Amino acid sequence: MNVALIIPSLSGGGAERVMVTYANGLQRAGHKVFIFTHTPYGAYSNEIHTKINVISIPYKNIISYIVDTRYLLQILRIQCLLSSMTHVNYFAILQGKLIANNIQVIIRESNTVSEILKLNNSYKFRILDKIRRWVYTSADMIIAPSEGVSLDLSENYHIAKLKISTIPNPVDYNYIQKLSKSTLEDKYVSKIEGKKIILGIGSLSKQKNFQDLIYAFKYVRSYSDAYLIILGDGPERSNLEILIRMLNLESYVYMPGYVDNPFNYLKRSDVFVLSSIYEGLPNVLIHALLLGKKCISTDCPSGPSEILENGKYGQLVQINNRGELGKSMQKMLNKNPPLNNVDHLIAKYSVDSVMQLLLKNKIFKYGL
């Protein structure tokens, strides 16, 4: 089949990494793969298989973008469109189902979308949510990364369960192991060599709830000579910096921003913490487990409880419970040994296992 994946950017991000992995897997399976993107350069551009055609479609306005994309779909004889991220999913369904009527559309919903409105109840998000309820039912297949996301789509958005496929995010274990062993050239980390490090990774947004992580870390500082590193950037940076100063933690909390390689920071850390209010299936929690890290996560919808198997492989704490989070962090620093046997997790999230789940779908199995 001729398959096109719409990826607005090849810069770092969980959704982008999953889509690049899908593209490479589909190419290896014998499909002719194209990637449509605004910017063909970014953190993941070097990971794309050389036989995949990366086509840059400049964004001037929505009308010209629709026309340009439609033209490419026609001349390349695209039979299947794949997308992730909500606004891109809307566009893929518009192109494949309303403008054309002979293109199979597969969309991937990366988050527990009903939770988004609880945190962002603005007019914009309410409108987007109503559009989702109408548009998503037109997709031929919806990929949910966790059972929680799948249940959310079927119960709250009335999408037929047969149309939803639960496919976890693929993780290239050998790749992250290689990156984790690379030299970490960071003056701050060198300065605290030998100290305990707690690590958080993600966009500095309300969803990731790093505010609670910082408050909980204040408790830890009362008992341990530990340091907190938060990797990522976003709109909440200034608020978090104000909080750090207010709690007199400037010397103990380090936020270097977005980094291309978070895995060598993970390798150096003692405890990884996910403090999110909601997720879909957080890649970074899987990465931390596969690198043998002690993990703590809020029991948020959805994904962490599935990844940690209800607390078997890490500590689950209540959302917005800073006291419980702080005590769990302190306990993990001093007692719990890291996870050693991760072979079955490596197999579960391997690229081959995930691609088998995707390729067994009738769209790829039988074609059109």
* Mean pLDDT, rounded, of the chain: 92
Neighbours of 58 (CB within 10 A): 9
In this predicted model, what pLDDT tens digit does every residue of 255-296 receive, in sequence order? 999 998 999 999 999 999 999 999 999 999 999 999 999 999
Question: Which residue did the predictor score with more confidence, 245 or 38?
Answer: 245
Q: State mean pLDDT over 221-234.
A: 96
d(CA 94, CA 106): 12
Q: State mean pLDDT over 338-366.
A: 85
What b/e sequence results for 144-153 when a residue is b if at least 16 CB atoms lie within 10 Å of its CB, and e otherwise?
A: bbbebbbbbb
Q: Per-residue pLDDT for 340 more than 70?
A: no
Neighbours of 221 (CB within 10 A): 18
Query: What is the pLDDT at residue 39?
Result: 84
Query: What is the pLDDT at residue 211?
Result: 98
The per-residue DSSP string of 254-279 comes to EEEE--S--HHHHHH-SEEEE--S--
In this predicted model, what pLDDT tens digit does every residue of 91-112 receive, in sequence order? 999 998 877 767 999 999 999 9
In this predicted model, what pLDDT tens digit does every residue of 165-202 receive, in sequence order? 999 999 989 989 999 999 999 999 999 999 999 999 99
Cβ atoms of 317 and 332 closer than 8 Å: no
212: tokens are: 């609670």
Q: Per-residue pLDDT for 240 more than 90?
A: yes
Q: 355: Cβ–Cβ under 8 A, 6 or more apart, which residues?
A: 22, 25, 26, 28, 29, 170
Q: State mean pLDDT over 195-219.
A: 97
Query: What is the pLDDT at residue 119?
Result: 86
Distance of CA 332 to the CA centre of its chain: 25
- Residue 8 DSSP code: S
Q: State mean pLDDT over 65-75.
A: 92
Residue % of the chain over a pLDDT of 70: 97
Q: Per-residue pLDDT for 235 more than 90?
A: yes
Query: What is the pLDDT at residue 338?
Result: 66
Place of tokens 């006291």: 323
Side-chain-side CA neighbours of residue 8 (13 Å): 12
Q: Which H helix or E strand runs over 94?
A: none
Q: Per-residue pLDDT for 241 more than 60?
A: yes
Q: Per-residue pLDDT for 223 more than 90?
A: yes
Which domains, ranges and CATH numbers included, belong to the chain? Answer: 2-170+350-365 (3.40.50.2000), 173-348 (3.40.50.2000)
In this predicted model, what pLDDT tens digit does every residue of 5-54 receive, in sequence order? 999 888 867 788 899 999 999 999 999 999 999 888 887 888 899 999 99
pTM of the model: 0.90
